[in-house]
Amino acid sequence: MIDEKLLRRITANPQIFGGKPIIRGMRISVETILSLLAQGETPETILKDFPDLEPDDLRACLAYAHAVISNDKLEVLQVTV
Residue 7 has pLDDT above 70, yes or no: yes
| Alpha-carbon gap, residue 41 to 35, rounded angstroms | 9
Question: What CA–CA distance (Å, rounded) separates 22 from 74?
Answer: 14
pTM recorded for the entire structure:
0.83
Q: Which pLDDT belongs to residue 77? A: 56
Give the per-residue pLDDT at 30.
Answer: 97
pLDDT digits (tens, 9 = 90+) for 35-67: 999 999 999 999 999 999 999 999 999 999 988
Distance CA 71, CA 81 (A): 25
Query: Does the 4-79 domain belong in CATH 1.10.10.10?
Result: yes
Helix (H), strand (E) at residue 11: strand 10-12
**In the chain, what are the domain boundaries?**
4-79
